Amino acid sequence: MQHPIYKVISVKIIAPYTLKLQFDDQSIRVINFEPVLHGEMYGPLRDITLFNQVKIDPEIKTIVWQNGADFDPAILHDWDEYVDELTARAESWEVA
Q: What is the DSSP letter of 25?
A: T
Residues facing residue 18 across a β-bridge: 15, 32
Q: What angle do CA 28, 30, 33 make, to 5 degrees?
A: 140
- Within a domain: 46: yes
Task: Note down the domain range covering 54.
Answer: 8-92
Residue 28 CA to chain centroid, in angstroms? 13
- Within a domain: 23: yes
Instruction: Give the side-chain half-sphere CA count within 13 A for 33.
Output: 28
Number of domains in the chain: 1
Report yes or no on whether pTM surpasses 0.95. Answer: no
- Within a domain: 1: no
- Within a domain: 44: yes
* CATH number of the domain enclosing 25: 3.30.2020.10
Residuewise pLDDT in 10s, the chain (96 residues):
567 899 999 999 999 999 999 999 999 999 999 999 999 999 999 999 999 999 999 999 999 999 999 999 999 999 999 999 999 888 887 644
- Within a domain: 58: yes
